[in-house]
Amino acid sequence: MTMTQMQAARAGKITDEMKIVAQEEKMDINVLKERVANGTIAICANINHKNLHPYGVGEGLCTKVNANIGTSSAFPDPEPEIEKLNIAIAAGAHSVMDLSTGNNIDASRHAILEHSTVMVGTVPIYQATVTAIKERGAVVKMTEDDLLHTIEKQAKDGADFMTIHCGVTMDVINRMRAEGRYMDVVSRGGSFITGWMLYNEKNNPLYERYDDILDICAKYDVTMSLGDGLRPGCLADATDHAQIQELLNLGGLVKRAWDRGVQVMVEGPGHVPFDQIATNMKLQKSLCHNAPFYVLGPLVTDVAPGYDHITAAIGGTMAAVNGADFLCYVTPAEHLALPNNQDVKDGVIVTRIAAHAADIVKGVPGAREWDLNMAKARKQLDWEAQMKLAIDPQTAREKRASRNPEGTTACSMCGDYCAVEIVNKYLGATIEHC
C-alpha cells in the first residue's frame, strides 16, 4: 500500500523525494523527516506525477513561488498555456496551478501534468462548476458527487496539491453578512460555494464530506491546500470577522488531515494593508499549528492595476519574513485580463525577488552568499559573473548590451565617472575587463 510522505516520515522511512529536498535545501535529512512527520513541511508529490522534480514547502526551507496558468471561457485553447508553463519554469517557478475554466479542462490539465517538472496544483471546484452548468444549467445545481468525482479524477491524473474551500461554512457567511464588506467574496471558488450554500440552504459539502476528500488525498498523496474562500478583496475588508472565522475552521481541518496522514498547506489573504501583514501571518501560524502557509501577494494597495505584481511583491516579502512559506505570483494583468507570456515571466521574476529578499532575513542557507557573490563581482566590474548571478540573466544581458558600447568596463549610467572604477584605481584593486 502506498504511503504519503507524512506517513512514511512517521514510520521512520526516508523517501527519494525527501533525499532530493534535503540535499537541495542543505537541511539535515533527519530534521526534514521530522518536519514532514509533524506537518510543518509538505512535499507535494502525487504518486502519479511521473516527471516531477520534488520540492518542499515549509519550515526552514527557501520560500517557494507559484505561477497561475490555465484556460478561460474567453481563451479555451490549452496550447498557449503549455508555453506559459515553460516560461514559468524557465523563470524559476517551483509550481504552477492549472486554473482552467474553459471548454478543455481535462485536456489542459493532462497536457500541463505531462509537461511539468514542477509541482502542479488544481482547484477542483472550477471543473465541477463547469460540469454543473453544462449538464444542469447553473452553478447552484452542482452536486456533492460532482465535487467528489472531480477531486478523485484530478487526483488520479497526478495533481500534486489541490485548493479546496472547506472552511467556508454558514457561520462564516453569516458573519460576513452581519459585519458587511465592500468586496464581499472575490475568491472564484469561494463565490461558487457561497452561492451554492445560500441557494440550497445547506452547509458546505466540502466541509461535510471532508473525510471522503481525505480518503482521496491519502490514496494518491495529494497535499490538501485549504483555500481561503473569504480572503479580502480590498484593503478595507482585511482581517475582518469572516476571514478570521474561516481561518479558525481551517485550523481544525489541518488537525483532521494530519490525523489521517494527509499533508496540508493553508492559503492566506489577498489584499492586506502593509501594517497588518505580520499580524496576519503570525495569526495563521498560531491558529493552524504551523502548517505551511501559501499566500496570494498580499497586495498592499488597491490602486495599481497594471502594476499589481509590484504591490504583491511588496507584501510578499513582508509575509514571508513573518512566516509565509509559499508565494503565489500576481502578474501585471491582475484585475485586468488573462496574463500573456510576458506577464507570466514578469510575475514569476518579481515574486522570486520578493521570496529571495525574505530568505535573506530568514537565514535560508545560500541566500546571503548569493548576494555577497554579486557584490564581489560588482567590485571587480566582472560583468560576466554579474550576468550569471542575476535573478533574470536574459533581461540583465539585454539591458547591458543595448546601452553600453562594446568593451566598456563601466556602465553608461556613470561612464567615465564610475565610482567603483575610480576607487579601485586608487585602492589598487584588480579590475577584470569583460
DSSP string, 284-340: HHHHTTT--EEEE--BS-SS-TT-HHHHHHHHHHHHHHTT--EEE---TTTTTS---
Does residue 199 have a known ligand-binding role?
A: no
Q: Does the annotation flag 126 for ligand binding?
A: yes
411 is in an annotated binding site: yes
User: 165: annotated binding-site residue?
Assistant: yes
Ligand-binding site membership of 228 (annotated):
yes
Report which DSSP code applies to 81: H
Does 248 count as an annotated binding residue? no
CA geometry: angle at 374 spanning 370 and 375, to 5°?
115
Q: What are the grid coordinates assigned to 64, written together?
A: 517557494
Whether 110 has a binding-site annotation, put simply, is no
Contact 168, 193 (CB under 8 A): yes
* Residue in the structure block whose three cell numbers are 504583491: 312
- 267 annotated binding-site participant: yes
Q: Is 189 annotated as a binding residue?
A: yes
187 is in an annotated binding site: yes
335 marked among binding-site residues: yes
CB-CB contact of 159 with 118 (8 Å): no
Instruction: Evaluate whether 67 touches 99 at the Cβ level (below 8 Å).
Output: no
149 is in an annotated binding site: no
Q: Does 418 show up as a binding residue in the annotation? A: yes
**Distance, CA of 328 to CA of 347 (rounded, Å):** 9
Q: 24 among the known binding-site residues?
A: no
- Residue with C-alpha cell 558600447? 405
Q: Is 315 annotated as a binding residue?
A: no
211 annotated as a binding-site residue: no
Annotated binding site for substrate: 68, 97, 126, 165, 187-189, 228-231, 267, 294
Residues making up the binding site for [4Fe-4S] cluster: 411, 414, 418
Residue stretches of the annotated binding site for Zn(2+): 271, 335
Q: Which residues are annotated as a binding site?
A: 68, 97, 126, 165, 187-189, 228-231, 267, 271, 294, 335, 411, 414, 418
